[in-house]
Structure 1
């Protein structure tokens, strides 16, 4: 090889990232925006596509940084009549129909991945993109705290539908197994395609590497990245735990609350409850009487302002939710990753209505118990406006893990971005060595 070609081969590469995002709920999208933005902020000026059936506006933060958005049906999702219930039969019917079209969808995605010259597929957390990446001959990484095979398995109830569920889930697991890496977010549950993954221990969050049955796991912080060598690990089976991926508030509290039309004399003299369920679950609340303690107001995400009683305010769809979380004294909603991480990140106590059909909730509840503060509210009490005792109980909690030594850091997006770049560098180096090509991707120090 000529000296000029050797020099070019040694240059750090820019990569093409294809980030597939489930359209089920906004939690996937909010954390993807954070990770994608960190990837696009890296010095190598990578190219990043976001592929999802979720609407474009949810990803605007990453799009503003240069991400390219493509709308495509890439997962079956979960059917939810309400924020905390699942239509079990319709969910499984949708999964069955989705899998029947799997071959055509994989062919479509393989063609597109080759067209954009993709280097890696990231998944949060559809299964089909992992299979498409494998068919296209490129690596893939799951970036999530759960995968949908566990969610579908969690819908088994001991009846005839269970047989269908287990049969369908077998294909889902096989597709996830085609991934090369699991970047596991806090609040995780067992990942069926990665043997040995398990919940946090009961006593404390483990920050030590845990040896898994089929690979390695390491809890990686920003200070550990230089020492982590993908070249020493095998591919499928790598499980790497990262810190919390958290969106942080950017607007001062009083400025944000005034922008919602809440008079200063109100928001300076009242405590604030953030209701993150949206209006679909608050129909008929005018008949409840006032569900708030004295001296409180509430801000509702979504919903029709005409249905809201006195002391309730609507938060517009385009509002940046971490600003609302930061402005609130207590947050009420469901156990979703975005809500939990932002409550922890802003040290806000959380009231949640349980969702027994969502197995993901097990990991997120554990996360809130260990890293934040939470109170469980009975569904019947939520639906009849019996909120006061829960609000008062939560308002006395600290909102964060009181043992500072056990707190997770909140730079998971930055850590994940660096890890994936390092993973791709190691892969390029391995390929070059296998082809006996001189020159390699340098193991440059990672500077933050």
Structure 2
């Protein structure tokens, strides 16, 4: 799995859990640069964790902005000794002898598996060639070389599963669209409030404020404290836990999908996981766009159809100046909930694919 934020893990872990329910898994090796504790938070299946990075993704200065010089340097380093990295990956893979490689979506791993004749499945709502091409001059030789390497690997995938809302024009040859993938945990509004120490008599809405899994220096704690019409659950390690402010860290092992389904609103950015969780649970969602990440347009279009969602500016987000927008979303009719059994469908597709191999 790519280690760019937590979105790739959040998509993959429910699929692996559903696959384990449908067919016995003899062994599972998880290759991802994310910390082991973050993986265990999402994936309870027994597994071996190989933390060596398999791709770059995007290096971020914060959740809203990529560090393009650092990303380019990392891509140059990854591709500089590609044959050696590919040989090392194949050596590891041959020792494990997998029946299938499921990638979300490191192209090094896919190319290594293809060279060994191992069946490959891409689980992907985006592809790194499309993302990278949106930031760099594709006519530049080194950029063209990056993209060519990605597209060769993606073009050799045996099966690609694209959970809605996925980018169009994926580079994979055999794409099957599936419903959104959600966290399997169930919402518990009363339980969440109780764990945070919120009185049962408290009627103000509890709103999650989060920009996802990539660190940010600060969020507008003081401005939120002054907004007395709401309670604010803040996804930041330094968030206060006092007055009308609550720190997500106090929830311990609560699955993040269950947190989203248990609050009265979410304010954040339109990443895959947060968007589909809000829509599936009918949670009002205010989002500030990045405008440069290539999968954002498809997610926002999907939210307009399936979610109770409204765009705000980044300035509004950091000024905590969005209460009128929140009330406007509350007044919207709730659209029919989208299908959200993508994990079960992905597992079924993978199982059937392996039975044919």
Q: Deviations over 1:8-66 (max 9, x none)?
A: xxxxxxxxxxxxx1100111111211001011112434432211001122322664233
Q: Which residue of 1 aligns with 2:350?
A: 420
Q: Deviations over 1:193-217 (max 9, x none)?
A: 23xxxxxxxxxxxxxxxxxxxxxxx
Q: How many angstroms apart in 1 are the aligned matches of 2:170 and 2:144?
A: 12
- SS of residue in 2 equivalent to 1:273: strand
SS of alignment partner, residue 47 of structure 1:
coil
Alignment of 1:39-50 (within 5 A): 39-50=19-30
Equivalent pair of 2:235/2:248 in contact (CA under 8 Å): yes
Matched, 1:312 2:245: yes
The equivalences for 1:20-419 within 5 A come to 21-60=1-40, 63-156=43-136, 164-194=142-172, 237-250=173-186, 252-266=188-202, 269-277=203-211, 280=216, 282-283=218-219, 285-286=221-222, 288=223, 290=225, 292=227, 294-306=228-240, 310-316=243-249, 318-398=253-333, 401-402=335-336, 408-419=338-349
How far, CA to CA, are the matches of 2:218 and 2:330 in structure 1? Answer: 22
1:162-185 CA-partner distances (Å, limit 9, x unpaired):
554333212211121121111111
Q: Find the residue that maps to 2:216 and give its secondary structure.
A: helix
The 3 A distance-change label for structure 1 pair 146 and 130 is: same
Q: What are structure 1's unaligned runs of at least 5 residues?
A: 1-20, 195-236, 428-448
TM-score (normalizing by structure 2): 0.91
The normalised TM-score by structure 1 is 0.73
Deviation readout 1:226-264 (Å, 9 max, x if unpaired): xxxxxxxxxxx2211111111144352112221123333
Change (3 A) 1:352 1:138: same
User: Structure 2: how far apart are the matches of 1:104 and 1:163?
Assistant: 21
User: What SS is found at the alignment partner of 1:366?
Assistant: helix
| RMSD value, Cα | 2.3
Instruction: Name which one, 1 or 2, has greater alpha-carbon Rg.
Output: 1
CA distance in 2, matches of 1:49, 1:259: 34
